[in-house]
Amino acid sequence: MVSRLQLTLAIIKPDIVVQPHLYKEIQGLLLKNKFIFVRSKNICLSQERAGQFYKEHEGRFFHKRLVMFMSSGPIWTHVLARDNAIQHWRQMMGPTKTYQAQYSFPDSIRGQFGLTDTRNSTHGSDSEKAATQEIHFFFPEFDMNKWLTEEENTYRTRTSVLKFCEERHVHFI
C-alpha cells in the first residue's frame, strides 16, 4: 500500500523549455516514475519575480546570473505528487553542479541535459517546508491543505483511472 502522497514543486528551466523535445522527454520521465501532475503552469518570470523566488541566494556570486537566466524565457512549474516526491524528484534531477552530475550521475536529468551550474535544467524543493513555500509562490490559488485532506486519497487510491491531459499538463480522474 502506498503511503500518503507528498507534494513537491518542480521547475523546468528555460534551457529545457526552449527545446520542446527535451521538455517532453523530462515530462515522460516524470510520468514513467509515477509522478502525478497536480497543477502546472507555463510562465515567464520577470527579473523582479525571479529575484523574489531566489531571495535566499541574494548576495551570493551566482545570484544575478541565476535571476537573469530564470527570467530569460518561459519555464514550466509543476506541483507533483507521489510517495516521497521530494526525495524522488531530487534523485531524478541529480546534483546541482552539472559537472558532478555528468560524471557521477550521468543518467540523472542534470547529467544528461545540464549545461552549467545555472543552466542545470531543473529545480526541485529540498524539504517539505520549502515545497510548501515554493508551491504557494507559484500557485497561490492552490490550497495544499485542502488538496491533502479532500483529494489526496482519491488520487492515491484511484491511480488506475487517472488520465493525463497533454494540453493542460495535469492528471485528472
Tell me, yes or no, if 136 is annotated catalytic.
no
> Are the C-beta atoms of 87 and 35 separated by less than 8 Å?
no
Counting beta carbons within 10 angstroms of the beta carbon of residue 122, is it exposed (0 to 12), middle (13 to 18) or buried (19 or more)? buried
Contacts of 9 (CB under 8 A, 6+ apart): 77, 78, 79, 80, 123, 124, 125, 131, 134, 135, 138
Q: Which residue out of 63, 78, 88, 123 is catalytically annotated?
A: 123
> Are the C-beta atoms of 121 and 113 separated by less than 8 Å?
yes
Grid cell locating 113:
541535459
Distance (Å, rounded) from C-alpha 162 to C-alpha 52?
35
Distance (Å, rounded) from C-alpha 80 to C-alpha 89?
9
Give the catalytic positions in this structure: 123
